[in-house]
Structure 1
Amino acid sequence: MNDEQVIADLHGRWVFGWERNEGDPPFDFRRTFGELYDFSSPDVRLYDDFDPEQRVASTAAGYGAIWEPNFRRMVAAHHAVDDGPYVIADHDLAASTLTFVARITLPDVTTDIRTTTSLVWRRTPAGWRIVREHNSTKVLPEGHLDDLLPTHSG
């Protein structure tokens, strides 16, 4: 498998790492993504505009701290890749972009979204790791993904 295929596979694993089903154990960012993010690099910058505070994390652990409380509240989160991934890779750096849709179910509301995600990967002795992330999300009309994604863990 060449680097582009490896990165494409890793980006897909990243998307589905965010999956949640009713009854799952509490979301643990490091357990879920420990082999995808670079937890030791000083060069990390991670951003997702779906964060209401629109924080930029400078560590993978800090990024996890943004998302763990929200994902622990979720009843379910179901995803489907809508377009991509598109990958370019060089010796030590790679970039990947894809678009996914998701249905996020909280105890009191369900939200459908479409997100374009761009990740920059650095080759480390342990493998490719995320050092940059930028996600742009659009909230879709209620029920927009009814034919594609379940309302609950079904």
Structure 2
Amino acid sequence: MAEGTILPRDDVKILSDLARDWVENGWRHTPDEPFDFYERLARFYDWSSEGTQFFDDFDKERRVNMSASQYAAIWDAVIPTMRKLTNVMIGEPHPLVSGDLAVMSVQFVTSFVTAEGEEGRVHTLSSLVWRRSGNDWRIIREHGSGIRPHHG
């Protein structure tokens, strides 16, 4: 095997670690760490390819975005107005890798405080498609849906 060749099991570990970082660090807004989509999440998303698609039902307008920049604009308008947004991943994503594409489902609990002080928690399921670009993996498709309010 050539030096520097990435084995499939290495991709699974890399993608699992990326998913946890994407959930728990990328999608965070606190008074000490204000949210800016590009600053926090640019390294996770494919900003240049055609055929990208991003959706999350936390967006009140339920827009399907055909580029990462459209998707970023939604969250840069919404999240910084909140007092707090944090996520904790549930379990592991178990990515399926085939060549330069990978798919996974990620579950997490989102906790938030609105500008008005309303607190909430939502159990969320996101399905992600990643594409390898050079040595990096980037999200090209995302579908996030709240499963139910989280209690406990």
Q: Secondary structure at the match of 1:86?
A: coil
Answer yes or no: is 1:140 the counterpart of 2:149: yes
Partner of 1:41: 49
- Distance (whole Å) between structure 2 residues aligned to residue 133 and residue 24 of structure 1: 24
Partner of 1:19: 28
Partner of 2:84: 76
Unaligned runs of 5+ in 2: 1-8
- Distance (whole Å) between structure 1 residues aligned to residue 125 and residue 92 of structure 2: 10
Task: Quote the offset at 1:77 in angstroms.
Answer: 1.1
- Superposed CA offset, 1:27-59 (max 9, x none): 221111111100001111001111111101111
- Superposed CA offset, 1:114-154 (max 9, x none): 0001110001125110000011113516xx24xxxxxxxxx
Equivalent position amino acid for 2:16 in 1: A
- Superposed CA offset, 1:4-48 (max 9, x none): 1111111111102111212433x2211111111000011110011
Give the alignment's TM-score, normalised by structure 2. 0.87
- Distance (whole Å) between structure 1 residues aligned to residue 41 and residue 106 of structure 2: 18
Unaligned runs of 5+ in 1: 146-154
Partner of residue 2 from structure 1, selected from 4, 7, 10: 10
Aligned partners of 1:46 and 1:58 also within 8 Å: yes
Higher helix share: 2
Moved beyond 6 Å, runs of 4+: none
- Distance (whole Å) between structure 2 residues aligned to residue 39 and residue 61 of structure 1: 7
Give the alignment's TM-score, normalised by structure 1. 0.86
Answer yes or no: is 1:50 the counterpart of 2:62: no
Equivalent position amino acid for 1:18 in 2: W
- Superposed CA offset, 1:67-88 (max 9, x none): 1111111111121112321210
Partner of 2:72: 64
RMSD between superposed Cα atoms in Å:
1.5
- Distance (whole Å) between structure 2 residues aligned to residue 140 and residue 7 of structure 1: 27
Equivalent position amino acid for 1:68 in 2: D
Aligned partners of 2:29 and 2:80 also within 8 Å: no
Equivalent pairs counted in the alignment come to 142
Aligned partners of 1:80 and 1:100 also within 8 Å: yes
Equivalent position amino acid for 2:124 in 1: T
Aligned partners of 1:115 and 1:138 also within 8 Å: yes
Equivalent position amino acid for 1:128 in 2: W
